[in-house]
Amino acid sequence: MSSVLDVVLSSAFLAAALRIATPYLLAALGGLVAERAGISNIALEGQMLSAACTGALVAGYSGSVTVGALCGVAVATLLGVLLAALRLELGADAIIAGIGLNLLASGGTAYAVYSLLDDKGGTSGLKSGSLPTVTLPGVENVPVLGDVVSGQNMVTWLAFLAAPFVAWLFYRTRFGFHLRAVGEMPDAAASVGIAVRRVQYTGLALSGALAGLAGVFLSMGYVSFFVRDMTAGRGFIALAAVFLGGMRPWGVFLAALGFGAAEALAVQLGSLDVPPQLVSTIPYAMTLVALALYAWRRKRRGRVVPTAASL
Amino acid sequence: MNEPWGEDGPAVAARQVTKTYANGVRAVRAVDLEVPPGEIRAVVGENGAGKSTLMKMFYGLEQPSTGEILVGGRPRVLRGPASAIALGVGMVHQNLMLVPSFTIAQNVVLGVEPGRRGLVDPKAAVETTARLAEESGLTVDPKARVDEVSVGMRQRTEILKALHRQARVLILDEPTAVLTPQESEDLFAAVRRLRDGGMTVLFISHKLREVREISDQVSVMRAGALVGTIATADATERSLASMMVGRDMSLDVDRTPARPTDTTLRVRGLRYEAPTGQSLHGLDFDVAAGEIVGVAGIEGNGQSELAEILAGLRRPTTGTVHIDGTDTAGLDVAGHRRAGIGYVPEDRLHNGAALDASIADNLVVDRHERPPLARHGVLHPGAVRAHAEQLIDQYAIRTPDPSVPVRALSGGNMQKVIVARELSAQPSLLIASQVTRGVDIGAMRFMYERLVDARDTGAAVLLISADLTELLALSDRLLVLKDGRLVARFDDTTGLTEKRVGLYMLGVEEHDRGRLTTGLENVGEEAP
């Protein structure tokens, strides 16, 4: 048991937790923006996957990591706009349309990689490089802190900045104000002259962009190549984090961080004498426990706080 | 911020306005309406008379098919609420358009937030709201969340919203439907103050008494057309009602005194702990066969919970309910129906009918498994149809055919389907919840007659309604619910006024327990 504790307290584990939490953070905040705009973005998974694939391919062929990353984010943004269009223009169910986009992304990326590189597995044959890491000159040599914080990928930094950014957007800006109103009461927003659709399109574009950044991190930060279906359900876990976090930016931030830590734990414990099958269930078991806890707490709160009927 | 208005002429006007929807329904026909500035104009009419559609055109939510809308003396093209707001038109919708999780101040400024460079200044929002509330006399708490305040305050918030946008024309769509008499009077006082400050007010209603109280002139609409405009001073409720329906019609119910016999419903020590919504705290009352007992109260004070418990849709925490001596504890909904309960739910769209199923199917849902409609578990379509045709005839449901889906019916006819089903089951207790909500005068009168008929043939009727006029017209006895408690019991409703009942609804007055439980047997034996 003490070996488990050693693992958890090691700086290597903490650094891994931050790294692994990165895609969860970005995708979950993306999911949050869409959810608060009133359209569930089930397509987070597909947007991440498309961005990961586009990023690796474009970077590989153009030789520019920056261009690759930007193209990846752009593709995910367009998928976000596409989901909004399917919902708003054609009246499609957002869940069904999202599932459709996920299947399209899974098949489409595999097809693109196969037709370009003649490889069914991924782009490991292509040299596409990865996004730069950030070393902090002073902090680098501080024990533990230096190991954990310094040398993280720049996208990890962006992911941690995304939470305050989304909170600021939601609660301080006019756009965030309108976005929340549109998601909660579209009729009320429309009746005061807010352009409901435009707000929802913008929200879904932002959602896609955040998911895209998460995807780009997977193929250009985590590793430096694209593997078929490499998102492995992260989009759905991110969606769970949206609800677990109570649809609030900092709540979602903590939930996503929790999922990242759980997965990091699973990875680190793999080196110990624990059955790997058991270890790999940790993130999922944690999801279930957390969701149950959340539901229980909400039920209790519902009972304690009476609906005030002041006159 | 407002676009300029002409020097004189009407504040708002419609010239030969017709609205034809894409499906061919003509909601408004060739309406000419002029409202001078500084007037309170009531617009009355039955449901479907076109008054809401006309107002939506003034607010830019609908565009006229032909004709023109004038605001501030000039013809305007209103592409959406934004352009109406820019011209100084504000609207308070019947179902309030507020964001529940936002504070009152946030709702007031939504769409025109104070602040610079895309940011919102929350302090300025609160200050603006407080100032507007002060000036207009519409009291609100700017920092309270909308979902935590009363309906009356929400409505005041809506009016402040319009004021914040510097509205010069205010459209109020059935504003008193959800208010107590006292709240309505406060609203009227505020509206008069606004009028005296130069505001033009369009007041939509079908409560003729209120129209007479608040308006300067009344415009009456029927079947999409404007029947006429008369000075309120010259109008009587009766003359307005006959203009609305096109023939002489009154809502006075001929009602012989009740002849109550044995106790049908006996409720003792009924407590219900609601996870969300209103809990009930120890109710004791009886309803006898052959009487109508009304339940008054501001909405959300436990009426819905009580109705659903009696119908078997919720289980009480403690206490007992007996129907004709049968204890309903442990019975499912079907068991409750077998025990003799009929239930007209308050929300007919969600709980009253299967909207996409036919009228015929909706009329048999509680009896489809029994002869003559079915034998050995197989339905007889012929019998189902014959059953439907008989009830359609008996309850004057206006439809071309029993196979028409219920969704296609008007509110009044939809309600008739539900009432036909419930009453034809010959319940010993009928729970009628908001039975005339959103139905027109003709259907309303029909419902009233049916309820009195049911009473006279020996049913016990528990009438739950937000409409005090209706309760006082129909009830032989009246109970008042406040915060999940019975606070008043009137065994004789003659001479009882709405204002007096309103005092109990607000909790200003309360009957003592002795009076509430007079003549009830076995009170307290089940109470904890």
Which pLDDT band, with edges at 50, 70 and 90, does A202 fall under?
very high
CA A138 – CA A146 distance, rounded (Å): 9
CA A92 – CA A83 distance, rounded (Å): 9
Looking at residue A2, what is its pLDDT? 63
Q: Do B97 and A192 touch (CB under 8 A)?
A: yes
Q: Do B277 and A185 touch (CB under 8 A)?
A: no
Q: Do B80 and A307 touch (CB under 8 A)?
A: no
Which pLDDT band, with edges at 50, 70 and 90, does B7 fall under?
low
Q: Which CATH fold topology does A2-134+144-301 show?
A: ABC transporter involved in vitamin B12 uptake, BtuC (1.10.3470)
Question: Domains in chain B, please, with CATH?
Answer: 12-245 (3.40.50.300), 251-340+427-528 (3.40.50.300), 354-424 (no CATH)
- Which among A181, A187, A299 has CB closest to B275? A299
Q: Do B110 and A307 touch (CB under 8 A)?
A: no
Which pLDDT band, with edges at 50, 70 and 90, does B251 fall under?
low
- Which among B110, B148, B278 has CB closest to A192? B110
Q: Do B148 and A307 touch (CB under 8 A)?
A: yes
- Beta strand spans in B106-178 (E): 169-173
User: B105-144 in b/e burial notation, b at 16+ Cβ within 10 A?
Assistant: bbbbbbbbbbbeeebbebeebbebbbebbeebebebbbeb
In this structure, the number of other CB atoms found within 10 A of the CB of residue A111 comes to 10
Q: Do A191 and B81 touch (CB under 8 A)?
A: yes
Looking at residue B528, what is its pLDDT? 40
Chain B nearest C-alpha distance from A294 (Å): 16
Chain B nearest C-alpha distance from A307 (Å): 6
Find residue B13's DSSP bridge partners: B34, B70
Looking at residue B248, what is its pLDDT? 60
Q: Which residues of B touch A307 (CB under 8 A)?
A: 148, 276-278, 300
In this structure, the number of other CB atoms found within 10 A of the CB of residue A195 comes to 15
SS3 B185: helix
- Which among B99, B115, B276 has CB closest to A181? B99
| Domain regions of chain A by residue span | 2-134+144-301
Q: How many CB pairs under 8 A join A and B?
A: 90
The average pLDDT across B215-227 equals 89
Q: Do B148 and A310 touch (CB under 8 A)?
A: yes
Q: Which residues of B touch A184 (CB under 8 A)?
A: 99-102
Which pLDDT band, with edges at 50, 70 and 90, does B250 fall under?
low
Give yes or no for B276 touching A (CB within 8 A).
yes
The average pLDDT across B69-98 equals 87
Chain A nearest C-alpha distance from B114 (Å): 9
Tell me the average pLDDT of chain A.
87
Looking at residue A306, what is its pLDDT? 37
Q: Which residues of A touch B146 (CB under 8 A)?
A: none
Q: Which residues of B touch A192 (CB under 8 A)?
A: 81, 85, 97, 110-112, 161, 165
ipTM: 0.81
In this structure, the number of other CB atoms found within 10 A of the CB of residue A55 comes to 35
What percentage of chain B carries pLDDT values higher than 90? 39
DSSP A25-71: HHHHHHHHHHHHTT---TTHHHHHHHHHHHHHHHHHHHS-HHHHHHH
CA B506 – CA B482 distance, rounded (Å): 7
Looking at residue A297, what is its pLDDT? 75
Residue pLDDT, tens place only, B59-71: 998 899 999 999 9
Give yes or no for B80 touching A (CB within 8 A).
yes
Residue pLDDT, tens place only, B363-379: 998 888 887 888 888 88
Residue pLDDT, tens place only, A224-254: 899 988 998 899 989 989 988 888 999 999 9
With CA atoms as reference, the chain B residue closest to A175 would be: B118
Looking at residue A214, what is its pLDDT? 96
Tell me the average pLDDT of chain B.
87
